[in-house]
């Protein structure tokens, strides 16, 4: 097997935004190309092997990551994947004519046809964009986390979370994401059914080529949480290979049962639903693994003394 991995270093952590952008451009230019896309977006491309990962990311969020680098950089180093990132400087749904023109040029140049496998990936607004722009590469796969279908108020007027962004046009090029995935080989859509608005957006993506992957009791940015659980990289690899089955998805996130935010959401759901007995069981099960001040307090508020028998493993260390 040919080794396509690129050997390069990035020193992006802790830099001011302008310095971060300049350093990122320097790294990318040595291994591919850097393309400004108007004042609000830019594209980076690392030219490596025949598998292409396309990501839609936010520069502010990237600078908060451990290495402050676009997600695909690690896959280029380890797996030898080529990587195209469309990056926004601030929050964005990537509704910019400069991006349309850039993607049109890629299509005209046959860019995506040069790769054996293509995976579009993004979360939330980036998840919308990953689905919407996947139409540029028929036969690609898509992994999208908590995506919106559109922010067009005539279609999703029930979603009042992004009022300012409703002024953007979602009716021109690459607009309505559920229509843009028809040519995709496989779409993996991750959502939490407890989030009503997310579930309503997910329902709009119902297509024969869409695999719905449900994750219970998870709030916030799913990509960051999956990273904390150590499962996102495996999820991306499985999606690239077309092997992200529901069973594998659950296995990659097995650690969520000991993940603090997941545990707290599970307890909150039980209490909000009036299932006091279940809430008590959740607290006791968690405290059986060791001391936790939060769950001890919750158990006391539920009217139960904190007298929990530790599991054998916890007791023996």
pLDDT in tens, 144-178: 999 999 999 999 999 999 999 989 999 999 999 99
- Domain count for the chain: 2
298 in the same domain as 243: no
* 212 Cβ neighbours under 8 A, 6+ residues apart: 189, 191, 202
61 in the same domain as 38: yes
149 in the same domain as 25: yes
Sign, CA torsion 151/152/155/161: positive
| Least confident window among 2-11, 176-185, 213-222 | 213-222
Segment 13-26, tens digit of pLDDT: 999 999 999 999 99
* 78 Cβ neighbours under 8 A, 6+ residues apart: 5
Answer with the residue of higher pLDDT: 301 or 189.
Answer: 189
Domain assignment of residue 311, given as a range: 259-316
204 in the same domain as 67: yes
User: Which residue among 238, 256, 274 closes a domain?
Assistant: 256
208 in the same domain as 149: yes
User: Which residue among 229, 256, 283 closes a domain?
Assistant: 256
| Strand arrangement, sheet containing 141-145 | 32-37, 41-46, 82-88, 51-58, 117-123, 141-145, 186-191, 210-214
| Least confident window among 129-143, 194-208, 239-253, 286-300 | 286-300
Instruction: Check pLDDT > 80 for residue 226.
Output: no
Residue 12 lies in a domain: no
Domain containing residue 22: CATH number: 3.40.50
Kindly report the pTM of this predicted structure: 0.80
């Amino acid at each position: 097997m040919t080794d396509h991995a690129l050997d390069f270093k990035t020193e992006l952590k802790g830099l001011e935004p302008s310095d971060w952008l300049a350093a990122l451009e320097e790294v990318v230019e040595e291994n591919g190309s850097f393309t400004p896309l108007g004042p609000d977006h830019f594209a980076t491309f690392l030219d490596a092997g025949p598998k292409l990962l396309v990501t839609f990311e936010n520069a502010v969020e990237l600078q908060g990551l451990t290495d402050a680098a676009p997600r695909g950089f690690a896959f280029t180093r380890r797996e030898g994947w080529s990587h195209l990132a469309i990056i926004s400087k601030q929050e964005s749904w990537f509704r910019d004519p400069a991006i349309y023109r850039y993607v049109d040029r890629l299509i005209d140049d046959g860019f995506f046809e040069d790769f054996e496998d293509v995976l579009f990936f993004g979360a939330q607004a980036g998840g919308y964009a990953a689905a919407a722009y996947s139409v540029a590469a028929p036969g690609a796969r898509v992994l999208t986390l908590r995506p919106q279908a559109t922010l067009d108020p005539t279609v999703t007027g029930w979603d009042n979370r992004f009022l300012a962004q409703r002024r953007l046009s979602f009716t021109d090029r690459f607009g309505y994401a559920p229509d843009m995935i028809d040519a995709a080989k496989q779409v993996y859509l991750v959502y939490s059914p407890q989030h009503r608005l997310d579930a309503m957006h997910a329902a709009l993506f119902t297509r024969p080529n869409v695999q719905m992957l449900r994750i219970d009791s998870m709030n916030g940015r799913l990509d960051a949480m999956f990273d904390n659980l150590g499962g996102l990289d495996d999820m991306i690899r499985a999606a690239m290979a077309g092997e992200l089955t529901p069973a594998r998805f659950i296995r990659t996130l097995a650690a969520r049962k000991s993940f603090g935010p997941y545990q707290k959401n599970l307890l909150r759901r039980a209490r909000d639903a009036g299932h006091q007995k279940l809430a008590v069981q959740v607290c006791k099960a968690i405290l059986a693994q060791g001391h936790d001040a939060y769950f001890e307090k919750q158990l006391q508020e539920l009217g139960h003394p904190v007298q929990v028998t530790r599991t054998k493993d916890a007791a023996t260390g």
